[in-house]
Amino acid sequence: MTARFRLEPLGPGHDRNTFSCGVAALDSYLAGLAGQDIKRRVSACYVACEVTSGKVAGFYTLAASSVPLHDLPPSLTKRLPRYPSVPVARVGRLAIDMAFQGRKLGGALLADAAVRSARSEAAVFALIVDAKDEGAAAFYRHHGFEPFGGNPLQLVGPLQRFLQAAG
């Protein structure tokens, strides 16, 4: 995967208008709002760019967040101090262009989000994701995420799992 795609911050050189993942709201976010969110520092956006064509094959957004400690599964928090909340990085949106789906790119973007979060100079305990529907939640569960806070579309995954896989 990595040889064919570059994983990099969304920038002015990327064509955002031809991206089509099958979910109009995600396509129009990339085409319209992603750049403004980056400028306003409310969300970062990273893309997988096909090396040969320069095409944007996938993207995800990443932002700092925090969650109440008592919302998280006890299996994740049993060794943590009893602070009221823990710092996390939120993958608010993640999508792969239909032409590139089913090639493990979605999993690679999740791993990239974990690596960037772990590299952050501000502490990040875990990744959380917002799934748009049950199908998306199944994708995240497949990658080891589990629902938390009583919302089946909000899931958490420890960074370690992805960092080990990324080497």
Ligand X SMILES: CC(C)(COP(=O)(O)OP(=O)(O)OC[C@H]1O[C@@H](n2cnc3c(N)ncnc32)[C@H](O)[C@@H]1OP(=O)(O)O)[C@@H](O)C(=O)NCCC(=O)NCCS
Does residue 128 touch ligand X according to CB under 6 A?
no
Query: In this chain, which of 12, 135, 150, 167 binds ligand X, going by CB under 6 A?
Result: 135
Token digits for 9?
Answer: 């911050």
Q: Which is nearer to ligand X, 64 or 165 (CB)?
A: 165
E-assigned strands of 69-101? Answer: 85-91, 94-96
Q: Which of residues 37-76 bind ligand X (CB under 6 A)?
A: none
Query: In this chain, which of 132, 144, 158, 165 binds ligand X, going by CB under 6 A?
Result: 132
- Please list the helix, strand and coil fractions of the chain in percent, rounded to the nearest 5, in that order: 35, 30, 35
Per the CB < 8 A criterion, the answer to whether 45 and 61 are in contact is: yes
Computed from CA positions of residues 1, 88, 19, 31, in that sequence, does the dihedral angle turn out positive or negative?
negative
Per CB under 6 A, the segment of 19-27, 35-43, 45-53, 155-163 that binds ligand X is 19-27
Q: Residue 134 and residue 153: Cα distance in Å, rounded?
A: 7
Q: Residue 97 and residue 167: Cα distance in Å, rounded?
A: 26
Residue 140 among the catalytic residues: yes
Does residue 21 touch ligand X according to CB under 6 A?
yes
Per CB under 6 A, the segment of 40-48, 114-122, 135-143, 156-164 that binds ligand X is 135-143
Separation in Å, CA 139 to CA 21, 77, 135, 157? 15, 23, 7, 12
Q: State whether residue 86 is helix, strand or coil.
A: strand
Q: Which is nearer to ligand X, 69 or 153 (CB)?
A: 153
Q: Which is nearer to ligand X, 106 or 157 (CB)?
A: 106
Q: Which of residues 90-109 bind ligand X (CB under 6 A)?
A: 93-96, 101-107
- Minimum CB distance to ligand X, residue 97 (Å): 8
Active site residue ranges: 140
Q: Which residues bind ligand X (CB under 6 A)?
A: 21-23, 26, 93-96, 101-107, 131-132, 135-136, 138-139, 142
